[in-house]
Amino acid sequence: MQRLSGLDAQFLHQETPSTPMHTLKISVLQPDPTATDSAYDHVKHTLEQRLHLLPAFRRKLLPAPFDLGHPLWIEDPRFAFETHLRRVRLAPPGNDRQFAEAIAALTEPMLDRNRPLWELWILEGLEGGRVAAVAKVHHAVADGVASAEFLRRVHDEGPERLVAPPPAQTWEPEPVPPKIAHALWAFSDHLSFVRHNLPATLERARAGKAMSGPDYPPLPFTAPATPFNRSITPARAFAFASAPLESARIVRKVFEVTINDIVLATVAGGLRRYLQRRGALPGLPLVAGLPVSTRLPEHQGTLGNRLARMWVTLATDIADPAERLRRCKTYADISKREFRETRGARFEDWLEFLPPLLCKGLALGLRTAVQAGKFSENLLLSNVPGPPEKLTFGGMKVDAFFSVGPVLEGIGLNMTAWSYAGQLNFSMVACRDLVPDLWELVEELPVALDELRVAAERD
C-alpha cells in the first residue's frame, strides 16, 4: 500500500463531471503489414506481457474512512486487464479531423474510481493503415515525468527488445485493511507527517526572498479575461500540429535562448494572432501556468506527482516575433528565479499538511473565484523533451507521439509541446463550448515558430 501525497489527492478533489482529471498519452503506430494478428490483438498482447513494468496499473484507490487522511493506493484484488481496454474503428478515410474527434470523445468521461485509474483505447482505421494507442491515465497516478518513465518502460529498447522479463513470482493482491485499523493509521500517519515535516517547510518559507515590482512573476488571480477563461462544461475538443524541431534549434542558436523559451514565444505568437482575429486580444499579456518538476535524483523511477506550478507572463502584447521571444525569455527567467527561491514552500508543498476536508474546500474556493471572474492563469502549458529517435512498441514503429493534460475550472485550454524524433508536436485539449474552433488555434503554432525561424535567419 502507498499513501497518496497531498498533491496527488488534490487532483482527485478537483475532479467533477465537468473537469475530469486524466491525461492522455497518444502513440500513433505503424503495424507490420505481414503480421498475422490484428493491431488491436498485438497491442493488447504486448502490453499484457509488460504489465509487470507498470505496477500502478494494478492499483486502485482506497479512501480513508471519514476523510481522516489521504487515500491509499492498494492493489486491486479484482483486477482484470481486459476491463481496461477499449476499441474504436474510425470510418473511412480516418483523417486527422476524425482522429481528433475520437480523442475528444474519449477524453470527456471520468475514469471509474472503483477500478485502477486508467484505460487503453485502440483507435483503428487511421489513414495509411495506422492505429493509435491512447493511454488515459488519471493525473493522481503520475505527472509528466513519471508518464515519460511509463513510456520508457513499455516501449522496445532496441532491435533485440531488451524489455525486463516478468518476475518469476506470480502477482498477488494485497489484503484490504479493516476500516477501523485504516482510520486509526490514516489519522496517526497524517499527524506524524506534519510533526516531522512542517518545521522544515516553515523554515524554507522564511528563507524565501520576496520580489516585488517588475521583477516579480504574475500574481495569482490577476490574469486578463479571454474567451476560454470562463466556467467550463464537459464538452471537449482536441487538435494537434507538428513543426520541425530543427526550426527551434536554429532559433535557439541565434538568439541564445532555450527550447522552453521558444515554446513560450511560439504559443504567445499563436494566441496573439488567434485572439486578434476575433477582436478578443487583451491589452495585458496573457499568463500561462507551467507545471515544473520538483523530482530529485532519489525520486527517479517513482510514480505520483512531484511538481509545482510556475506562472509565466506571455508576451502576447508584442507584435515583433524577435522582441516577443526576448520578452518571453525575460519573463521566464524571472519566474524561474522566484520558483527557485520558494522551492519547498510553495502551494503544492503546503497541501501535504492539510487534511482532506480542507483540500476539498480549496477546490470549492477555486470554483468560487472563477465565478467571480478571477483566473489564476489563462492556459496550462507543458513542454516535455521526448525521445530523439523513433520508438517501437512490440515491433511496431511509433510514427508520432502526443500528450495532453486536463483543463480546469475557469481555464478552458491546455497545450502540450512534446519533442519526438526531430518533430515538435503540439497538442491541445479545450472546452469545446469555449473554444469551438480549436483547429484554427493549433494551426497558428507552426506559423508562429516559422516567424521566429525567419527572424533568426534575418538576424
The catalytic residue positions are 139
In 92-226, DSSP assigns E strands to 118-124, 131-138
Cell of 258: 532555450
SS3 56: helix
Q: Are residues 242 and 425 in contact, defined by beta-carbon separation less than 8 angstroms?
A: yes
- CA distance linking residue 190 with residue 194, whole number of Å: 6
Q: Are residues 392 and 155 in contact, defined by beta-carbon separation less than 8 angstroms?
A: yes
Q: Are residues 291 and 359 in contact, defined by beta-carbon separation less than 8 angstroms?
A: no
Cell of 226: 479571454
Cell of 346: 510553495
- CA distance linking residue 278 with residue 101, whole number of Å: 24
Residue 315: closest CA among 375, 275, 264, 273? 264
Helices (H), 239-382: 245-255, 259-277, 321-341, 347-350, 356-371
